[in-house]
Amino acid sequence: MKTNYKHTQIGYLIIIVFSIVILFFSLILLQTGLDGISLGVLAVLVLAGGIFSSLSVMVTEYQVKLHFTFGVFRTSFPLMKIKSVRVVRNPWYYGWGIHFTMRGWVYNVSGFSAVELELINGTRYRIGSDDASALAEAIATALKANSSIHPPLE
C-alpha cells in the first residue's frame, strides 16, 4: 500500500500539563501516604498523558489512517466513503483527545487547526493537525486518484 502522506504531531502542551499534574499529585501522595486508589489514579494520569501526547496521520491510496501514541485509539476512513475534505479551525473548547461535539467527532492533541472529513453518510470527523493544509491536500489528491479506480458510493 503506497503512502502519500505521513505526519506525527507532538502535543507539547499536553505533555507539559500532564507532567505538572503528575508531579503535583505525586508530591501530595508523598506527603499524605500512598494507597492503592491513589497509585491507580497516578497510573491513569501517566497512561493518559502518554497516550494523548502525539497523533499520527497517514494517507494511503485507499484510506486515511490515524492513531494516538503507541498505536492506541486508532481508526481509519476508506477514501470511498469520504464525501468532502476541508481545513477548519476548532474553537478552543473542543480541547484535546477523542470526543464527540455538535459538529461530529474530534481527534486532537494540540492547537486549533484541523481537517474536517465529511463522509457520504453525513458523519463528520475533525483531525487536529499542525500541518492541516498539507493533510487536506494529500487527502484531496488521494480522493481524486481513487475516484478513477472506484466510482463514488452514492
Give the number of other CB atoms < 10 A from CB of residue 36. Answer: 7
Mean pLDDT in residue range 107-122: 95
DSSP letters along 85-134, please?
EEEEE--GGG-SEEEEETTEEEEESSSSEEEEEEETTS-EEEEE-TTHHH
Strand-pairing partners, residue 122, are none
In a domain, residue 154? The reply is no
Does residue 76 sit in the same domain as residue 145? yes
In a domain, residue 136? The reply is yes
| Number of domains comprising the chain | 2
Strand-pairing partners, residue 104, are 101
In a domain, residue 112? The reply is yes
Determine the structural domain holding residue 64 and report its residue range.
Answer: 3-8+55-149
Specify the pTM: 0.85
Residue 151 has pLDDT above 70, yes or no: no
Residue 18 has pLDDT above 70, yes or no: yes
Using 50, 70 and 90 to split pLDDT, how confident is the model at 86? very high
Mean pLDDT of the chain: 90
Does residue 72 sit in the same domain as residue 136? yes
Give CA–CA dist 79/84, Å, rounded: 10
| Amino acid symbol at 67 | H
Does residue 139 sit in the same domain as residue 65? yes
Q: What is the pLDDT of residues 91-107, one digit of tens each?
A: 988 888 899 999 899 99
Q: And the C-alpha cell for 106?
A: 474530534
Percent of the chain, pLDDT > 90? Answer: 71
Does residue 87 sit in the same domain as residue 16? no
Give CA–CA dist 100/78, Å, rounded: 20
Residue 153 has pLDDT above 60, yes or no: no
Using 50, 70 and 90 to split pLDDT, how confident is the model at 154? very low
Does residue 24 sit in the same domain as residue 60? no
State how far Cα 57 lies from the chain centre. Answer: 8
Does residue 31 sit in the same domain as residue 89? no
